[in-house]
Amino acid sequence: MSRPNLADWLKSFLPAPIAVDAKERVRGVAGAAIGILFVASICRWILPGMPAGAWLVAPLGASAVLVFAVPASPLAQPWAVVGGNGLSAIVGVLCSLAIGDPLFAGPVAVAAAISAMFLLRCLHPPGGAMALLAVLVHARHGEFAWLPALMGSVLLVVAGVAYNTVTGRRYPHSQVVLHPAPAPIGARFASSDVDAVLARYNQVLDVSRDDLEMLLQDAEMEGYRRRMGEILCADVMSGDPVSVEFGTPLRDAWDLMRGRRIKALPVIDRSRRLVGIVTLADFMRHAGIDRQHDIGGRLRALIRPDGRTHSDKPEVVGQIMTRQVRVASADRHVAELMPLFAEGGHHHIPIIDGDGRLVGMITQSDFVRALYRNDDVPAA
């Protein structure tokens, strides 16, 4: 990697544009005002007659910026706010007691607060200011850590949860990925790749890991949309797909699949609304094919009519079909089907119209052809 020249180095000091619209900016500004008003009102009610510095401190204003303007940031999460400010206040008080001279107590307090926040996973930038403030006001008792630091932080988080929820922002914002989403078909990276890169980067990012992965996947999806052009499902699907009804005998459905060389049949009602899908895997599963021997015999036994009026053996498609079916609308961009194909080994996506009626079918082969149909077309 080449070293930047002086002009590029100087340009690195310029601020980047903030990619949010006016509505989001107003939302953050109003939330910070409401949050600080809420904190100040409650704290002043708890300590009536005391000066403002006793129930409201400046670091809470910095915390409000994070909680209301960037609620998705790992630095703005409830534990970061409460733990970071409260812990730093305690550290500041201890440093003020142990080191009399603020010239030395201040740097030690800030450094110790950062170390403690790293250790307890509650890194919060205003926490450094909280520790320094405790030294500057010569806080010599635990009341400072309790009120305004800890109590004010708790109240700010309560206001943040309420305000962000009402205004459509998820808060708290989950920072731990319990069930990583499968990578889209054709994706150039997996969740493990993101983890490996973050480990090598070895720096604190002001974005959660799951948000980072989602942004990368969305960017890749946008790239596919640009590459594929405005191709909709209606442009790629096989129209008038072969289908069966709930009461179609298993033998008829099996013969239809073999004759047409297809591996799935959508199941519709008389209004052509989708009620399920029957696949080759459904036949195999209900035939009890868990061993390699006598596959043909088991399938023949499954599709052979029983002849009795009462039987536990499946006789019609509706008894073996999969009821939970992933579908897509005909006017949906075909690139959006990538995660659908990636989930659970889907190979066929029924396409429906605005009334929920079956109008087509897209297979993985159809999707791959659509993906590469514009390979020879130069990008604009």
Are 287 and 265 members of one domain? yes
> Cα 125 vs. chain centroid, distance in angstroms?
25
Give the helix ranges, DSSP H, for the chain: 6-11, 22-46, 52-55, 59-64, 78-98, 102-119, 125-136, 143-144, 151-166, 191-201, 209-228, 233-236, 250-260, 280-286, 295-303, 338-342, 364-372
List beta partners, residue 244. 267
Are 114 and 201 in the same domain? no
Please report whether residue 1 resides in a domain. Answer: no
How many domains does one find in the chain? 3
The answer to whether 162 and 144 have CB atoms below 8 angstroms apart is no
Query: How many whole angstroms separate alpha carbon 73 and alpha carbon 114?
Result: 18
Q: Domain check: are 205 and 256 in the same one?
A: no
Q: What CATH code is carried by the domain that includes residue 267?
A: 3.10.580.10
The answer to whether residues 141 and 268 belong to one domain is no
Calculate what percentage of the chain has a pLDDT beyond 70: 87
Q: Render pLDDT for 155-206 as a digit per residue (tens, 0 to 9).
A: 999 999 999 999 999 999 876 655 555 555 445 667 777 778 778 878 877 7
pLDDT beyond 70 at 277: yes
* Backbone φ, ψ for residue 324 (5° rounding): -85, 105
Residue 123 pLDDT > 50, yes or no?
A: yes
Distance CA 308, CA 303 (A): 14
Residue 2 has pLDDT above 80, yes or no: no
119 and 27 in a common domain: yes
CB 151 within 8 A of CB 43: yes
- For residues 336 and 202, give the distance between their C-alpha atoms in angstroms, rounded to a whole number: 33
Residue-number span of the structural domain to which 212 is assigned: 191-228
pLDDT at 378 over 50: no
Do residue 21 and residue 162 come from a single domain? yes
| Residue 272 covered by a domain | yes
Which uninterrupted H or E stretch holds 265?
Answer: strand 264-268
Q: Do residue 162 and residue 27 come from a single domain?
A: yes
- pTM for this prediction: 0.65
Residues 70, 142: one domain?
A: yes
**Residue 276 in domain:** yes
Kindly state whether residue 178 falls inside one of the protein's structural domains: no
Mean pLDDT of 355-369: 87
- 361 and 244 co-located in one domain: yes
Sheet holding 264-268, edge to edge: 244-245, 264-268, 274-279
Per-residue model confidence as pLDDT tens digits over 32-87: 999 999 999 999 999 888 888 888 999 999 999 999 999 989 999 999 999 999 99
Beta bridge partners of 278: 265
Q: Please check whether residue 379 lies inside any domain of the structure.
A: no
